[in-house]
Amino acid sequence: MNKVNAIEVSHISKSYGSVKALDDVSFSVSKGEVFGLIGPDGAGKTTMFRILCSLLLPETGTAAVDGFDVVRQMRQVRCRVGYMPGKFSLYQDLTVEENLKFFATLFGTTVEAGYDSIRAIYSQIERFKDRKAGALSGGMKQKLALSCALVHSPSVLFLDEPTTGVDPVSRKEFWEMLLTLKERGITIVASTPYLDEVRCCERVAFLDHGRLKGVGTPDAILDEFRDIFNPPGINKSEELRVKSEKLDNVIEVSHLVKAFGTFHAVDDISFSVRRGEIFGFLGANGAGKTTAMHMLTGLNQPTSGTGTVCGLDIRTQHEQIKKHIGYMSQRFSLYEDLTVSENIRLFAGIYGMKDEDIRRKTDELLERLQFTEHKDTLVRSLPLGWKQKLAFSVSIFHEPGVVFLDEPTGGVDPATRRQFWELIYDAARRGITVFVTTHYMDEAEYCDRISIMVDGKISALGTPDELKQRFHQPDMDHVFTYLARQAKRSEK
């Protein structure tokens, strides 16, 4: 292996049955480089990470990390790599300190011995060392997971979409931390669906359907494959905007409060949402968005204040509300062990639809999604983007008055996200109100109106253009960052 390269990949292939996850892939990463591994869902990125961490065996080809073969010298490789998988590797029922000690023990070291390696990051969350990992915000989980991956002082760090589901400000802070690791000479290989993070890399490799399509600077690769990474935006018709202004309110909230002891997760918020409107509900992790959404969907009761959804009182009619809304969480509500058509029938039955309507609408939905030939496919085998589109379609199958979408496109490539938003627009045209949270600020631009929560309160409310003008910012990313950085309350 070349002494200046930390990673050498030569003609690697890997299949799962008839699916070719990696097909003759070769590239190298220099020591101390920040290198991106990018591509759409199912491109083979996670398979490559696992091979380089010696967790999977390649079928053909070779790979070396710090000069050690990932198959023949896996023990030496594992001592030299840190790995942060896409889904946080933390143990939710262990405390912050217990997680860190566990990972230190796995690598034959101690927290004390490795503390200097993690001091800058871990010191930011150390005061919460007795809190269970499952109770941490997304940003704090990031810092803990990164600390666990660094506690044994690795020379190479692998990060598989480490910021999915994390707000833009926390993402920026995370990448600032990564750049300090580069200054220490650590080689970093990261995958990400966020284009601003792709541009933080020195070079990137673009994978698509298991094949390497190109390696180069971020700007060069993003420009060469701009149809994939920068699809044309959606032009929402003015007709729909004008129409929505004349319709009745489907959601009305007045002075809503949710307190946990002395802590007010939601602190006196008021707003309304019109029928057929796409309403963006934004805020940093811990701002109170999810708590507010739980009250509106009947999953939690307010401490004080009033609210109605589809004309039903959120305090006294929360069970009836559930029958008039749709809901799609970031963790998909589909049953992985059921087929596409079985999932549709199951949820339609739960919504109380008639058998004849279920059969007719199922055929219509499968045709609209171009899923007809996949109706008997198990959901677990579908690509992430397909699961999303199916989960959304199932959530509005019964034509609810409102559909609540909680970060529905987390971790998905730009082209698939655009297709998902076309489904959202179609639902709005049919009069379904869309209440959506997202950490993608380009998606915020697609909303009719946006509210931004800070410290449990709504700090801004208006159309994207109104908010950009009011705060003198060029885009919604800058608006969000400007407001989120005014937060004063710390983690509770």
Written as six digits, the tokens of 140 are 């704090």
Q: What is the mean pLDDT of residues 149-162?
A: 92
User: Sign of torsion, CA 158 43 22 215?
Assistant: negative
How many Å is the Cα radius of gyration of the chain? 24
Cα distances from 229 to residues 290, 405, 478, in angstroms, run 29, 23, 21
**Most confident segment among 122-126, 175-179, 228-232, 265-269:** 265-269
Name the strand (E) or helix (H) holding 390: helix 384-395
Confidence (pLDDT) at 116: 86
Least confident of 56-65, 186-195, 288-297, 381-390: 381-390
User: What is the spatial distance between Cα 143 and Cα 148, in angstroms, rounded to a whole number?
Assistant: 9
Which residues are registered as beta bridge partners of 283? 453
* Residue in the structure block whose two tokens are 């990137």: 204
Q: Are β-strands 34-38 and 187-191 bridged in parallel, bridged antiparallel, or unpaired?
A: parallel
Amino acid at the residue 202: E
SS3 46: helix
Q: What is the mean pLDDT of residues 90-97?
A: 91
pLDDT cut 70: percent of the chain above it: 95
Name the strand (E) or helix (H) holding 406: strand 402-406
Cα distances from 117 to residues 37, 111, 114, 133, 172, in angstroms, run 25, 10, 5, 21, 21
Written as six digits, the tokens of 273 are 């949402």
pLDDT band, residue 237 (cuts 50/70/90) = low
* Residue in the structure block whose two tokens are 């006196």: 268
Q: With contact defined as beta carbons under 8 Å apart, do 402 and 433 qualify?
A: yes
Residue 309 predicted with pLDDT over 70: yes
Q: What is the pTM of this model?
A: 0.82
Name the strand (E) or helix (H) holding 419: helix 414-429
pLDDT band, residue 236 (cuts 50/70/90) = low
Burial class (CB in 10 A: 0-12, 13-18, 19+), 2: exposed
